[in-house]
Chain A
Amino acid sequence: MVEGGASPSTCFKGRRLVRRFAVALALGCFAALPAAAQTVQERLPTCLACHGENGQSQTPDVPSLGAQQAFYVTVQLLMFRERMRVVDPMNDMTKGLSDADLQSLADTIAKLPAPRPPDGPLDDARIERARALVEKNHCNFCHTPNFAGQQNVPRIADQREDYLVKALRGYKNNSRRGYDAAMADVIEPITDEQILDLAYYIARVK
C-alpha cells in the first residue's frame, strides 16, 4: 500500500457534503501522497481512493472507471499529463508518468468491473424523453447501442449522473476540449435541460 494513502472512506463521506465541496474533497484524497516513482500497482489505490473500488465511484463529480475503454483512458491520461486537459488533481497525478505507465494504468482500469446503476424507482417520463434524444442525436452511433463505447469513444453506461452532467456541460461551454472534435460538434444543438435528461437516463441503463 501507498504510504499515507487516503482510505476510501475519506471519500465516502463526500456523499453527504454539498456538491460545491466535491473538488476540494477530491483534492483532499491525495493531499499526503507522493506523486512520482511508483509502479502502476502502487499507484492504483491512489486512483481508486476517489474513483472508487470495484470500478464504481462514490465521489461526487468523479467518474466511475470500471470497464472503461482502455484506448479512451489512455487518451485522457495523456491529455492530463500534457495539460491538453487541465483538471485538478489529474495533471499532478499524471506528471512524470511514462507512456508505458499510461498504457498499463489504462489496461488495468479497463479490467475493473463495470459500474452499476443506482437502485430506486425510475422516472419513466424522463427516460422516455432521453431515449428520444439518444435516437435524435445518434449517441448510440459512436457510444454503441448499449453505451459501452469503443476505442476512443468512452463507456458511458451507468456512469455517475453528476459526472455525465459535468462532462456534457464542459463540452457544451467549451471548457472541456476533446482529443478530437466529435463531442464539441454533437453537443452544439443540445440544451441544458436535455443534458439533465440524458445524464439521468444514461446513468441508469439496465
Chain B
Amino acid sequence: MIRRVSTGLSLAGALGLLATAALAQQQQTAPAQPPVPPPAVAPATPAAPAAAALPPGSPLIGRPDNNAAAAKLAPVPSPPLATAADKVPLDKLKAPKGFNIEVYASGMPNARSMALGAKGTVFVGSRLQDKVYAIVNKDGKREVKVLVSGLYRPNGVAFKDGTLYIAELSQISKIDNVEDKLDSSPKPTVIYSDLPKDEAHGWKFLAIGPDNKLYFEVGQPGNNVLHDKDHGQLRRMNLDGTGAEVIATGIRNTVGFDWNPKNKELYFTDNGRDWLSEDLPNDELNRITKVGQDFGEPYCHQGNIPDIEFGWGHSCSEFVPPVALMGPHAAALGLRFYTGKMFPAEYRDEIFVARHGSWNKSKKFGGDVALVKLNKDGTVKSVEPFITGFLQPDNNYVARPVDVMNMPDGSILISDDWNGAVYRVSYGSKKLAGR
C-alpha cells in the first residue's frame, strides 16, 4: 500500500530532528543534527567495490575500504557471562529526580525481551544463549530459573491466558499453563514455522495485540538489501499459529512494538541501515494507521533520505514516514507505553524506548531508555533520555538496555543483555521491590 504524504513528512521529520537535536544537547554522545531534513548523503567512498564477496547478511557490507576510522567499527559483542550480582554497575545508571533504580534480578546471560505472567513471573528471552529464563517473585524475594534450554536464538517472548509464546530464529512455539511448570523443564510446542532461516535480523520480537493475535517481524536479511516477499515485514497470526498475514512492509528490523492504549494503534521501532554515514540515518519510530502500509526500507530511510543504491526511481513520498527519529545507529529496540499509575501523571500513556546503543559510529550514541511524548493525535511531541549511563562518557558501554515492561504496581522493568540483568525503576520514596 502506498500513502501519499504531504505535510506529514516535513512535520514529523522536523519534529524528529528537533527532538534529536534537543537530545544532542543533553547527551554529550550525540552529534549535532541539522535543523532541516538533509539531502541524500553521498559518502566519498561509497559501498566498497569488493563488498560483493561478503555474505549477504554481513554487517561489514558497505564499509568503505582504506578508511582507518571505519575499520575500527564492528558490532560490539556483549560479554558471554552474566555479571555477578554484586558487580552489576547500578551506580552508573541515572534516573530523573524522584525515581529509584535497583537490580530486580541478575544472572541471566544475554537477557533480552520480557513478558509478564499472570502470577507475576517475568519471562526473559535471550538472543545468543539458548535459554528462556523465569524470574519468580515470592514474598519480595526473586529467584531466577532456567525455564527452557536448547532453543535457537529465543529472543521473543509473550504471555496470554496462562500460555507463554516463544519466538526463536525461525519458529514460534508455546507452553500452556507455563507458571505451573516452572520447575519441570517444559517442552515448547511449535505452532508456526513458515519463516526464513536467515541469521541476519532473524531474531524476533513477539507481542500479543489488542486483537488477541501474535505479532512478530521478519527483518531484512542483511544491512541494506532488496528483499523478497518473505522479509522486511511485520506479520500477525492467531494464537494457535493459523491465519498468518503480513500487515506492514518496508521494515528493516524492528525489535520492539506496542499498542497505544488510547486508540490501539501499533507503534514500532525500526533500526536504520549501517555505513551510510556517521550521523545518518536515524533509527525510526513508526506508527501503523492502516494494514498494508509500506515504511520504505530499503528505498528510503527515516522518511527523507533516498538510499544511495536502491533509492533511484523512487521518492520518499511513496512511503509512510516515521513519527519520530530515534538517533543515528541508536539501535532503538523494545518499547512500551507506560500504563501504570506509580509515575507522575505526565508519563501516563507515553512511550519508553530502550536504545541499545550504536556500533556503526565512532562516537557512540544511545545506551539509554528514552521517553517519547505524544501529541493528542498520536504524532510525537518530544524524545528525551529517561534512564541514562548505559553508555559512559569514555565511549564504552557498561550496560545495554534491550526491552522495557510495565509491572502491575506501576514500576517498569528494563532488561540489559550486557550484564544479563533486569532493573526495576520505581517512583517515590524508596518503593523498592524487596518491600
Contacts and interface: CB of A to CB of B under 8 A. Distances in A.
B179 interface: no
B54 A179 contact: no
A129 interface: no
Contact of B128 (A74, A83, A179, A185): A179
Interface string A168-206: 000000000001111011101100000000000000000
Contacts of A78: 80-81, 109
A177 to B, nearest CB: 8
Given A84-B130, A138-B53, A138-B54, A185 B80 contact: no
A37 to B, nearest CB: 21
A54 interface: no
Interface stretch (B13-21, B55-63, B316-324, B356-364): B55-63
B56 to A, nearest CB: 8
Nearest to A74: B80
Contacts of A184: 199
Interface in B61-113: 63, 71, 74, 77, 79-82, 84, 109
B50 interface: yes
Contact of B84 (A83, A99, A102): A99
A141 B48 CA distance: 13
A181 B57 contact: yes
B199 A181 contact: yes
Contacts of A99: 81-82, 84
Contact of B60 (A71, A74, A141): A141
B53 A137 contact: yes
Contacts, number: 64
A74 B81 contact: yes
A91 interface: no
Interface of A is mostly: helix
Interface string A147-177: 0000110000000000000000000000000
Interface residues on B, range: 20 to 34
Residue of A82, A83, A181, A186 most packed against chain B (CB within 10 A)? A181
Contacts of B286: none
Contacts of B74: 141-142
A102 B54 contact: no
Contact of A82 (B57, B58, B82, B130): B130
Nearest to B83: A99
Contacts of B63: 141
B45 interface: no
Residue of B53, B71, B150 most packed against chain A (CB within 10 A)? B53
Given A82-B149, A186-B54, A189-B53, 15 more contacts: A74-B80, A78-B109, A82-B129, A100-B84, A136-B50, A136-B53, A138-B60, A142-B60, A152-B80, A180-B77, A184-B199, A185-B55, A185-B199, A185-B200, A186-B58
11 contacts: A71-B77, A71-B80, A74-B80, A84-B129, A84-B130, A99-B82, A136-B50, A137-B53, A141-B74, A181-B200, A185-B200
